[in-house]
Amino acid sequence: VVTVTAENGDKATYTVTVNYPNVSDASLSVFTVNGKTVADGDTVNLDAGTTSVEIVATPADPQAQVDISGGTDLQPGSNDLVVTVTSRDETNTKEYKVTLLVAQSVDTSLATFQVNGNDVQNGDVVDLEAGTTAVDVTAEATDANATVVVSGSDNLVAGDNTLQVTVTAADGVTKADYFVTLRVAKSTDTSLATFQVNGTDVADGDTVSVGNDVVDVEVVVETTDANAKYVVAGNLGLKV
């Protein structure tokens, strides 16, 4: 306050208010994540695939120091964002913590789906040679956090076999099935692995001599292909 008295005795008072800054202030005047105001302890929900956010943290005292940890390299699930404000006089420090919750992906697509090195897709039919009992399946999910289960790639039999690939998204709930028919050709093998008459190996065109009193013989036949069938005729009711 300044008071001035004129020569004639008149007086005038001049008042000025001086604001002394709070040098111990560690508060924030602005705190936003992706343009939305947040406060200490808040949770911010983010879309699946989000890897970073825009953070604005302005201290109430322009000369206070602000340090930000988090907000980048985000992973699915909870991520910590910590803003630390240190007052101008360094006597007061305050942390503001926000949870950045990135939604788990629902992506169940396949980046790679191959059978024996050839690209396939859901609903395809793969023709395989006779005798094929297994195939090499490559199934890689687009989302590295998804899980892939393959069934039906082995113990194949002649005819149609179902290959199933099940992808479970990172959220653990969303699933998708991919089916491919593995069609194994039926064998054309008509050879015999075993052909015996009365315990003696024989071949097509052979002659087997038996006694005059023999009316039947024991024939043992085993096909090379276990799925082949055979019929034996002429081994009963033999005549001299």
> Which DSSP string do the residues of 83-128 spell out, in sequence order?
EEEE-TTSS-EEEEEEEEEEPPP----EEEEEETTEE--TT-EEEE
100 near 82, Cβ under 8 Å? no
User: How much of the chain exceeds pLDDT 90, in percent?
Assistant: 80
Neighbours of 188 (CB within 10 A): 8
* Res 240: pLDDT: 37
pLDDT digits (tens, 9 = 90+) for 132-171: 999 999 999 999 999 999 999 999 999 999 999 999 999 9
- Report the pLDDT averaged over residues 29-47: 98
What is the distance between the alpha carbons of residues 8 and 48, in angstroms, rounded to a whole number? 81
Name which of 147, 190, 194, 152 is nearest 171 in CA terms: 147
**19 band by pLDDT with thresholds 50, 70 and 90:** low
225: tokens are 């292909």
